A and B are shown apart, each in its own frame.
Chain A
Amino acid sequence: MELVLAIGIGTLAASGVWLILRPRTFQVIIGLSLLSYAVNLFIVAMGRVRSGAPVLIAKEAGDPARYADPLPQALVLTAIVISFATTALFLVVLLASRGLARTDHVDGQEPEA
C-alpha cells in the first residue's frame, strides 16, 4: 500500500515538473494539475496511511490508534478546492494570452529559430 502510494505520488510529481518546464501553456496547465494531484495525495499520506479505519471518533472513543486522522482529510479538501479554482483562473489567463499574443508559447512570442 505504502509503496504503491509512494510510486504514484512520485510519478505524478515527476510528470508534473517535466510538463511545467515545457514551453507551451497547455502543457504547463496539465503539469500544474498533475503536481496538485501529487500534493493532494501527499497530504493524505502525511496523516499516516491506514485502510479501513473510520474517521470520526465515537462518543466512547477508546483507543485513538484505531481511527484515521481526520485533519489531513479536511486539509486536502481545502487544497483541492483552492487548486481547482486557481487552475480555472489560470485557464482564463492562458486563453487571454493565446488571443492577444496569437501563440501558445509561455513567453507570448515564438523563440527565434
Chain B
Amino acid sequence: MFDTALTANDFLFLAKGAGMTIFVTVIAVFFGTVLGIIFGVIRYQIGPVWAAPITFVLDIFRSIPLLIQLVLAYAFLGTVLRLGLSGLTVACIVLTLYTSAYCAEIVRGGIEAVPLTLRRASRSLGMTWGQDMRNIVMPLATRVALPSWIGLALGVMKDSALVYVVQVTELLKSTQILITRLQEPLLLLMICGAFYFLISFPVARFGGYLEKRWSND
C-alpha cells in the first residue's frame, strides 16, 4: 500500500497549499475579530433597536452560504466594479466579513455575560466607561467568549477550503489537483486531513491552556 507515485515535490505542493490555508485563515480571523469586536461593542452599546441595520447586514453574512458569497463578491468586485482585485484579496475580504459577523455575536454574548452590578461597582469607583471596558468587561468577556471564538477560528480555517472558487489554491484544492494527477485519493486525503489536524490542534490546545489558566476558582 506504500507503493505511491507521490514525490517530495508533490508533498511540497501540498505544504504550500497548507500555507495558503493558514495565511487566509490568519488574515480572516485577525481582521474579522477586530471588526467583530467593534460591531459587537456597538451593537451592545446602542441597543437592539438602533443596532438593527448592523444586525441585518451581519445576518446576511451569516445566513448566505460562504460559497455563494465568494462567487458573488468576486463577480461583483471584479466584473461590475472592475476593481481588478485578485482572487486572494476577494477571498480575504469575504472571509473577514464572514468571520466578523459570527465574532460580533460572540463578543456581544461575552459582554452580556458580565454582570451589570460589577460594572456599576467599577463605575462607582470613579472609573470611566473606557476603563471599565478595558479592565473589567474585556477580561471577563474574553473568558466567556474564548471557547466559542476558538470554535469560530477552527471553523473558518476549514471553511477557507471554499476559496478555491475564486482561484485560490489552498490545501484542499492542492489535494484535488494531485488526486486528479496521481489517482491516489485515499492517501492524498489522509495527508490533507493530517495537515488540517496539524494546523488545528495547537490552536485548540492553546485555547484549552488559556481556559485552564484563567479558571482561578
Q: Does A pair with B?
A: no
A residues near B (Cβ < 8 Å) are none
B residues near A (Cβ < 8 Å) are none
